[in-house]
Structure 1
């Protein structure tokens, strides 16, 4: 990373409505096309059981590593706008959605405001986040929670998560 103004952030992506894989692909393209954001790489996609509200279809999830010059709240607002443009309708908490974008990590920042909490407050409890994040950054240490690879391994033993066939 040559530009010191750029920050590495990790974004969780999920979908369980419509063409789930296409929804994730569209979100990655739109995120990469946004001013001040570049998608560096995305983890393989996983098929995951819903958590919270279980009376819904399984999800497809991944995590993207991005470089951004946007401030955390501006990146979050961009992500919310992308969700809306891709047909996200907010209804039941943890319910079905065409697309879900979560700002998981923003550099080494620790933020705790009513609008934004970073690192994401529940990411360490979710295999659908930790497994793809560990694919991208297995050595990453999450303050107070531990190593991404170790967290991913322990969560994958107790939560349903399957690699997608023909992962692209």
Structure 2
């Protein structure tokens, strides 16, 4: 059985938009997984320490037969392949992949919280999700559109589509 999974993408190092574009291709190639849609990319100010470049963020909608922990393992493998280093909380990164929503699953264990706990507070996550599926609702019944309307604006800037040539 396939589950709809929504993955957040972020980068602010080493050509961030190109990092995200490569990550989208790698996500589409995951086993037992199909890419349904990709959001536009957005530029936003960093959360936390401001002594770093702006981020580029987006999201993808996958249909996957992987369980959430296996999918998390795959996301972390892709991050590592992009040179991800976890040196500072909310610090700069080559690639950040977050499992935001996994079907109607509510999960909170030592490795994973789904839906992502910071999702309601981050316009750079909510807007791409809204772009992907305007009627997306979290398992507890809250609409992403409602959360986006209530979320403080971080001056998101929609970026032109990446040039794949």
TM-score, normalising length from structure 2? 0.93
Q: Deviations over 1:82-125 (max 9, x none)?
A: 00001111110010000000000111000010111100011110
What's the counterpart of residue 3 of structure 2? 7
Alignment of 1:56-67 (within 5 A): 56-67=52-63
How many residue pairs get aligned? The number is 162
Instruction: Identify which range, 83-92 or 132-141, moves more after superposition.
Output: 132-141
Give secondary structure in 2 for the equivalent of 1:102: strand
Residue 158 of structure 1, CA deviation: 3.0
From 109, 112, 118, the equivalent of 1:116 is 112
Tell which deviates more after alignment, 96-105 or 33-42. Answer: 33-42
The two structures have a TM-score, normalised by structure 1, of 0.91
2:154 corresponds to: 159
State the superposition RMSD in angstroms.
Answer: 1.4
SS of match in other structure, 1:52 = coil
Deviation at 1:144, TM superposition (A): 5.0
**Which SS does the other structure have where 1:39 is aligned?**
strand
Q: Which moved more, 1:132-141 or 1:80-89?
A: 132-141
Q: 1:16-165 alignment to 2 at 5 Å?
A: 16-143=12-139, 146-155=142-151, 157-164=152-159
CA distance in 2, matches of 1:145, 1:163: 28
Which sections of structure 1, spanning at least 5 residues, go unmatched? none
| Partner secondary structure for residue 141 of structure 1 | coil
SS at match of 1:62: strand
